Structure 1
Amino acid sequence: MALNKKTGAFTGMFVLFLSLSLIAGCGGFSKGKDTPPTSAAFAATGTEGIVMTFTPEQPPVKSYTQAPLNFMVEVRNKGTTTVPSAMFYLSGFDATLIPVTPNPIPLPQPLEGKTQFNPDGGYTLIQMGAQNINLPNEMPNYKPNFLLTACYPYKTFATPMVCVDPNPTDTVSDKACQVQKVIGTGSQGAPVAVESIETQATPRGMFFRIHIANVGSGTSGSGLAFDQMALGACPGALTYNDLNKIKYMVTLGSNEPVACQPINNEVRLVNNKATIFCQSPKSIQPLAYQTPLKVELIYGYKNSVAKMVEVENLNFGRI
């Protein structure tokens, strides 16, 4: 009888422990039951847009005239702007010897940028190839450097907090913030970055010097920014007037317009850098306050990846 009592008590304790464990486990799930998991480490940083990588052996380092030559490329969006469309051009070879198709090839679908739900960005594959390689019998081999270039539209968004002081000469009143001479903004997950902003408060209003730079990577260490309206001319028909041209929009607070130079909301990079000068009128608010300065940069961009392939002619020397 005593044994049955002990057994019953042990059983009751076990059931209670199991119930508490299940409740705790359910509580852990209930916190995020209506939302997908997110990455706590996500931040809108980075200096890349579209990044391309040839898959292993596609193309191989060495190929032959009697075998097809295929190209398979991984395409990732490493930035924070969704790319709605893009074109990929393969060059660096004689198309009469290696007739690659399709060339150019469009982006199969829009490529999402990095987000807190997708911190790695969008991903897709593109494929092209040549079924017949037509080398003359007198030519023992052919070693072209295949250059794949992506042309696409992109945007940069920066929203640093700035201190607006309507009365900078007032040294008596307490102020909620102090105007910083230089605000470092880092990178924003795009190949053209707002690097820093200089701020100055005057009795006439606020002055901003916005420093931007092309920081993206490409074949020669940097990609190329250009006028987004010239996307159809990329990569081979871009003119000097198209190159390094960036459209911009700057607003303060709740989309309050800011007067900027150069005029027409357009600036040209020189040595991959440029400065936008802006002024906002004196605020009607009497005391200093913090508000976001919103900077949007709009441009076309191109960057490339290359791979050399040796094609051996199996018909070499034949008459």
Structure 2
Amino acid sequence: MKKSLKLFLIILMAFSLFLVSCSPSPSAGEKPSDTLVALQAVKTGTQGVEMSLLPDSPPAVSYDQNELLALVEVKNKGSHNLQAQDCFVQITGFDPNIILGGFNSPRSCAENVGVLEGKSVYNTDGSSNILEFTSSVNLPLGLTDYNPTLNFLTCYNYHTLASPSVCVDPLFYQVTSEQKTCKPMDVLTPGGQGGPVGITYVGVDMIGDKAIFEINVRNQGIGRVLSPYANIQNCGQASLEYTDLDRLAYNVEMSSGGKISCRPNDGFVRLTSGQGKIICTFSISGVSAFETPLLINLDYSYVQSQKKSVRIIQTPQ
């Protein structure tokens, strides 16, 4: 019976994935316009790794002599590929002396697939994988039932690249508007950049031949931002420190080069209420206004969770 249920759930999941793969979605084509649509889908979005539990997995109520089974689906809906060491699912919230075996071990999101690929112009949905957790139950003598709330955590490393186009003008006050091809102004970047953390706004100001950018960073997902150096393989346990929370690494460049100075000057920005700010100053060469991409790289780890209550009862003798 247990094997039949497991087989049924796996077949059901495979059929669901087949239906999803058959649904229409933007993809690169022979026309530049087709590729542009697909590229826009890849470069936007506010999701990274999304986790869900298959129906009745684990069951809400089960006997202690039955195998406890949890089938977890992970989907990479962002634009960054994940290697095996970059993403883990972990279950916490239970007594390891009662629930034994596989529930105690973190599992890689890319288990058996090597790489959990993100969105690309050839696959704008990203990829998915199914992880199987199995455990046995050992109810203590005299205990008739056990009711833990299982906490399924997904912890992963991620990268966001934002490239808003900005106008810079080294002779802002010395040239007439008719001679300018663009005017420095603030840039809104709604819709995300293919990850749960992104840039929402870039303020632009010119002081002489220096461009000053106010870059606003926001956690646009439902989870918590962690330092890129956090221990993601065991983030469900007491391995995280204060310095790991709401802290991410950044790097800002302009394709036109030039001397750059950014604050915070240690290359890390801390988020407060999900938001942070980077201030960068560039020396701009040239004699006319021009548009150029501002390349903003964000590196971070991310954790989010889903809870499910289960009840394990003593098998009738």
Regarding TM over 0.5, the answer is yes
- CA–CA separation in structure 2 for the residues paired with 1:165 and 1:32: 37
**Alignment-derived partner of residue 296 in structure 1:** 297
Q: 1:165 aligns with which of 141, 160, 169?
A: 169
How high is the TM-score relative to the length of structure 2? 0.81
| Contact 2:166–2:187 (Cα < 8 Å) also in 1 | no
| Contact 1:251–1:294 (Cα < 8 Å) also in 2 | yes
RMSD over equivalenced CA pairs, Å: 2.3
- CA–CA separation in structure 2 for the residues paired with 1:160 and 1:93: 46
Q: Establish whether residue 44 from structure 1 lines up as the match of residue 43 from structure 2.
A: yes
In the TM superposition, residue 224 of structure 1 has moved relative to its aligned partner by 1.3
Matching residue's letter, 1:146: L
| Contact 2:46–2:191 (Cα < 8 Å) also in 1 | no
In the TM superposition, structure 1's runs of 4+ consecutive aligned residues that sit over 6 Å from their partners are none
In the TM superposition, residue 249 of structure 1 has moved relative to its aligned partner by 0.5
**Alignment-derived partner of residue 58 in structure 2:** 59
- CA–CA separation in structure 1 for the residues paired with 2:206 and 2:190: 19
- CA–CA separation in structure 2 for the residues paired with 1:153 and 1:257: 30
**Alignment-derived partner of residue 26 in structure 1:** none
Matching residue's letter, 1:164: V
**Alignment-derived partner of residue 278 in structure 1:** 280
In the TM superposition, residue 128 of structure 1 has moved relative to its aligned partner by 1.1
Matching residue's letter, 1:40: V
Q: Establish whether residue 110 from structure 1 lines up as the match of residue 115 from structure 2.
A: yes
- CA–CA separation in structure 2 for the residues paired with 1:95 and 1:297: 37
Q: Establish whether residue 314 from structure 1 lines up as the match of residue 308 from structure 2.
A: no
Task: Tell me the matched-pair count.
Answer: 278
Q: How does 1:148-297 map to 2 (within 5 A)?
A: 148-172=152-176, 174-217=179-222, 223-231=223-231, 234-236=235-237, 237-254=239-256, 256=258, 258-281=260-283, 283-297=284-298
| Contact 2:184–2:205 (Cα < 8 Å) also in 1 | yes
In the TM superposition, residue 40 of structure 1 has moved relative to its aligned partner by 3.4
SS in 2 for 1:230: coil
Cα displacement string for residues 70-103 of structure 1 (whole angstroms, at most 9, x for unaligned residues): 1111110011111122222110111111113161
Say if 1:255 and 1:55 are closer, same or farther in 2 by CA, change over 3 A.
farther
- CA–CA separation in structure 2 for the residues paired with 1:192 and 1:60: 34
**Alignment-derived partner of residue 147 in structure 2:** 143
Say if 1:267 and 1:305 are closer, same or farther in 2 by CA, change over 3 A.
same
- CA–CA separation in structure 2 for the residues paired with 1:185 and 1:49: 16
